[in-house]
Structure 1
Amino acid sequence: MATGLIALLDDVAAIARLAAASADDVAAASMKASSKAIGVVVDDAAVTPKYIAGLSPARELPIIWKIAKGSLRNKLLFLLPAALLLAAFLPWAITPILMLGGLYLSFEGAEKILSAVMGHAHSDDAVLAEGETVEDLEDRQVSGAIRTDLILSGEIMAISLAEVADKSIGTQAAALIAVSLLITAGVYGVVGLLVKMDDIGLHLAKREGGVRSLGRGLVGAMPIVLGAIAKIGTVAMLWVGGGILVHGLEEFHLEAIPHAAHVVQNVIAGLMPFAPGLGAWLGFAIASALVGLVAGGVLALIVPRILGLFGKKAH
C-alpha cells in the first residue's frame, strides 16, 4: 500500500512538472510573440485616441471599454480560429501573409510621413454628420475603431503565430489567447490612462500646494506626449514592417536586401564596441525602417493612383 501511495505521488508529481513545463512553454511563447508584435501595439495605442477626440469627456472611458471588447472579440472569435486553421492546414502561407502585413505596416508608416511632409494632416476630432445624434456619432466612432483594430489585431496574431509555429497546437492556442488578453489589456489600459491624463491634471491644478504645478505640467505635457506617441508609432510601423519584409525575403532565399540590411547592422554594431548587442539591434532596426520606408513609400505613391482608376479615394 505504501509503495502504491508513493507511486501515485510520483505520478502526481510528474503530472505537476509536466503542467508546469507546459505553462512555462506558454508563458515563454507568449512573451516572445508579444515582444515581436510591439511595433503594432505601439501603433494601436497611437491610433485609438483619435476615435475619442472631440467626444464628451464623460463618455471617453465607456467608449474605450466598448472598443476593447470589440478588439478582444476580433482576436478570440475571428482571428484565433483562422490562425490555428492556417497553422494546421496551410503553414506555408504564414510567411506570405506576414509579408503582406509587413507591407501594410510599411505603407501606413510611409503614408503618414508623406502626408506630414506634403501638409495633408487633418484634425482627428469627431464631427456630427447632418441628421446624426451624439449616440450615432459614438457608435460610428466605435465601429471605425473596431474595424481598424481588426487589421492591427490580424497583424499581431500573424506575427505571434509565426513565433510559435513550431509549437504544438495546444501551446499555439494558449499562447495566442495569452497574447490577445495581454495586448488588449495593455493597449486599452494605456489608451484609457492617456485620454484621462489631462482630466487628472486639471483636477490636480485646482488643488493647493505643490500638486497644482504637477497638474498644470500634466495638462501642458499631454499634447506633446500624444504627439510623441504618434511619431513613435509611425517609426515602429516602418521598423517592424521592414523587419518582417527582410525576414520574409530571407525565407524565400532572396538575399540582396537582407544582405544589405545585415551590412548596415554590422557597421552600426562596429561603431558601438562598448555595447555590441545593442548596436546590432539598433543597426537592424534602422536598416529595417529604411526598407519599410522605401517599400511603403512606393505603395503610398502607387495605391492612390490605382484606386483613382476605380473612382475611389485612399483613406
Structure 2
Amino acid sequence: MDSAGAGADDSRGAFSLDTIPSLSGGFSSFQREWETQVGEGFPLPTFSQATTGDFRVKGRAAKVRDVAITDVHGASAIRTAALGDVEDQVRMWVVRRGAWTLGGGSGGEHTVSAGQFLLRHVGRPSHFATAPHTTAKIVVLPAAMLRPLLGNRIVTGAADSAEVRLLVAHTNMIHATMADLGPAGVQAAHRAVIELAKAVARHRFDDKEPLLATALAQAAKELADSRLTDPSLSSRTLASELNVSVRTLQRAFAAGGESVTSYIRLRRLEEARLALTAQPGRLSVSELAAHWQFSDSSHFIRAFKSHYGQTPGDCARQARAQGD
C-alpha cells in the first residue's frame, strides 16, 4: 500500500494475495505476507479499525532493492488511522478505477481519480483513503535519486501517457519475472524503474536509451493486446500512442528477437485458437478470420496451419472430440 523506502542492495521479494472471498483474517494475511516478503524498510501505516475488520483486497507486491511496487484492487475501502515517523521517499500512484485521496499535511489534500497519476516527494507522512472498488498501482522510490529532479513539485497527468505506460509495463514485467531474476536482472530492473520514474517527472523519456527498450516493447505489447480486433492496429498506431518513431519501436522489438507485425499476428492466432478450442463450432472460419483481422479465410488458414501444424477446422474437430 503506502510504505517507506529501503536500503540500496540486491534484495528482492514478492507475493500475491486475494482476501476478497475471505470472511475474516484478510488483513492479518496481508500484513504477514508484506512483512515477510517486502516489509524491511517498507513498514505499513496503521490502518483504521474499519479497514482491518473488513479488508477485502486482491493485490500483489514486489520489492526490488529500494523500490516497492504494489498493485491493489480493494473491494472494500481502505483508510489510515495514525501517522508514522518522518519519511523521505518518492511515491507514485496510478489509479485505474475508483479514487485514491492523499490527505492533508503540508502539501494539502489531493485526490487521484481513475485514469490519472500523481508523483511527488513525501517528506512527512499523511493519511490516505480509497473509495470502494479502487484499482491502483503504487510505486515507492528512493528519494535520493528523484528528489533533485522533483523538488517540491507534484507531477500529475493521464495514466495513459507514453511515459506512464512504459513505467506500468515495466513494473508488470517485474511482477511476472521476479522468480527468474538473478543479481544482474535485479539491478537492471531497478535501474529501469528509476529511469522511467525520471521520465514521468519530466513528462518525456529518452527513446534512444537502450535500458528502456524492453519496457517500450512490453508497453507496446500490452497496448496491442487490448486492441487485437482493431483493424487499424499496426506498428505506426502503436508508435504514435507511445510517442516514439516506428523505427524506435521496431528496434525495441528487435532487441528481443521479434517484430511488431509478427507479435500482433501471433497474438491474433492465439486468440483465434482459444476461441476454437473453448467453443468449437460456434464461429465459422470466415467469421474468425474477419474478427481477428485476417484479410480473408485463406490467409487465416495458411497462417494458422503454419503456426500450429493443423488447420482451424482440424483444431475445432479435435476440440469437439476431446469434449465428447
Task: Tell me if both proteins adopt one fold, taking TM over 0.5 as the criterion.
Answer: no
Q: Which has the higher helix share?
A: 1
- Whose relative contact order is higher, 1 or 2, with alpha carbons under 8 Å and at least 6 apart? 1
Q: Which has the higher strand share?
A: 2
Higher Cα Rg: structure 1 or 2?
1
TM-score (norm 1): 0.23
TM-score (norm 2): 0.22
